[in-house]
Structure 1
Amino acid sequence: MNNCVIEDIQGRADSRRIAIDKVGIKDILHPVRVQDKCGGEQHTVARFDMTVNLPHDFKGTHMSRFVEILNSHDREISIASFPIMLQEMLQRLEAESGYIDMRFPYFVEKAAPVSGVRSLLDYQVSFIGEIDAQGCRTKVKIVVPVTSLCPCSKEISERGAHNQRSHVTVTIATREFIWLEELIALVESEASSPIYGLLKRPDEKYVTEYAYDHPKFVEDMVRDVAARLEAEPRITAYIVESENFESIHNHSAYALIERVK
């Protein structure tokens, strides 16, 4: 039997005296369970980025420990468990700061506005956690697809108006729990029209005419959503972005508002 000690090269000292701000693993897949307002919990698969800082005198970090931390939580991972995971990272990797980004698709069942036919629509969600000497901070980020109809096109055209699919991205920090469904409903209520997974002909007529009656510039979209976020007492800070994938241009229209309340 070979009893020789295997050297830990990553544990060697480094002479370049250059600290690394973030080092770790990116894009690792792991099954998770997320709280669902209607069904209790939703099973999905998330992609994780997990990093820590590395002092100037350390050659490398221990990449396997990130995976060990992730697996030690099995599937019980949520925005509430992030502070625990971040503390574990600092302790096990002897770091001063850490970062976790967990991204996953979240599905909501929606009823079409006229026929009532039900279908699932997916939303891209991120839970983000950071920790350093100032403490632990967590954020929720969600991308909500909606329809936007151009007010200018409606005003100058005799027949119709150009419309497009838009992505409204909301990132929030909160003092109390907020359901993902609440954020989705907030954003969709300020769009020209919500988007649905399945529509019958009467539904298609309804959403087309509804959008025509509720035109929004990209600037209108971010201002109206920001006003709703500003009025929500559970939210302490927010970023709202809107990207309109223009149907008459080969570029997008974009706007962003960021506030700390």
Structure 2
Amino acid sequence: MRNCATEVLEDVQGRVDPRAIPIQQVGIRAVRHPLQIVDRGAAVQPSVALCNMYVSLPAHLKGTHMSRFMEILNNQEAPISVEGFRGIVEQMCTRLEADSARLEMRLPFFVQKAAPVSGVKSMLDYEVELIGEITPKGYQLTLGVMVPVTSLCPCSKSISEYGAHNQRAHVWVHVRSQDTIWIRDIIDLIEAEASCELYGLLKRPDEKHVTEYAYDHPKFVEDMVRDVALRLQEDPCVRWFSVSSENFESIHNHSAYAMIEMEK
């Protein structure tokens, strides 16, 4: 009987591939992995990310080492941040001996908020995307944040004798910047431009406040993306951005949508 513990097994992935065709992205998708994330103010919170990890493969190699992607994730003990994301992508290039690498993470992010009148505290969840990519041209990070907000229709307010229809909207902002922009920075920017921000828990005085506040700040879906875009245009750190809003209409069985993309 052979001793498998000491036997040297062939590295099949390292074989030369006769087809000589390079692969731009090869790796693993839809990996759900626990982690810790840290943002502005150094507050660390646990989360679970859905990860996609890719590297380039040169034309002469048959395959990449898939297990090394999971090793990189499993060895990630320090909390993940916008600033430190590059280090993980660099590990992918080094461990998999690749010229290019791309890491995509999507995860929930929680913020404790105080209700506007009663001050009662509760958690609200947001969606965050971190996309880091290394190519021969260098490193690029795209930070995406989805913020749920209230949108109140200006037309409904204008033509109705009383009341106006309002709905929940999902606003996505993706940015590439030359300096650190935190997740909370984007959340604050979007919520400031909404008809009203959302809260996890409201008492009756809070409900009165948010209802009246939204009525005083009506916005079409077009208004929302334009106002956020103006704020991002004014930020000297932002090199590129996209902003989109989907309003889940309360008087229609369809959504209203708008999107702006801009490179500065």
Tell me the TM-score normalised to structure 1 length. 0.93
Give the equivalent residue in structure 1 for 2:214.
211
Aligned to 2:61, the other structure's residue is in SS state: coil
Q: Which amino acid is 2:14 matched to?
A: G
Q: Partners in 1 of 2:69 and 2:42 — Cα distance?
A: 31
Q: State how 1:123-142 maps to structure 2 within 5 Å.
A: 123-142=126-145
How many residues are paired up?
A: 261
Task: Give 1:254's match in structure 2, choosing from 231, 242, 257.
Answer: 257
Q: What does residue 79 of structure 1 align with?
A: 82
CA contact (8 A) 2:26 2:64 kept: yes
Give the C-alpha shift of residue 80 in structure 1.
2.4
| Letter aligned with residue 59 of structure 1 | K
Match of 2:193 in 1: 190
8 A contact 2:93–2:100 mirrored in 1: yes
2 CA distance for matches of 1:203 and 1:77?
Answer: 35
Cα separation, 1, equivalents of 2:238 and 2:107 = 22
Alignment of 1:20 onto 2:23: yes
Q: Please list the CA deviations of residues 87-143 of structure 1 after superposition, one character each: whole Å capped at 9, or x if unmatched.
A: 222222222211001222111111111111111101111111001110011121100
Supply the distance in 1 between the matched residues of 2:20 and 2:247 (Cα, whole angstroms).
Answer: 45
Aligned runs of 1:1-261 on 2, under 5 Å?
1-2=2-3, 4-37=7-40, 40-261=43-264
Q: Which runs of 5+ in 2 are unaligned?
A: none
8 Å Cα contact 1:100/1:130 also seen in 2 = yes
SS class of match (1:30): strand
Check 1:16–1:249 CA distance in 2 against 1; reply closer, same or farther (3 A cut): farther
Q: Deviations over 1:175-204 (max 9, x none)?
A: 222332221111111111101100111111
Deviation at 1:229, TM superposition (A): 1.1
Alpha-carbon shift at residue 79 of structure 1 (Å): 2.5
TM-score, normalization: structure 2? Answer: 0.92
Give structure 1 stretches of 5+ with no counterpart. Answer: none
SS in 2 for 1:67: helix
Provide the aligned C-alpha RMSD in A: 1.8
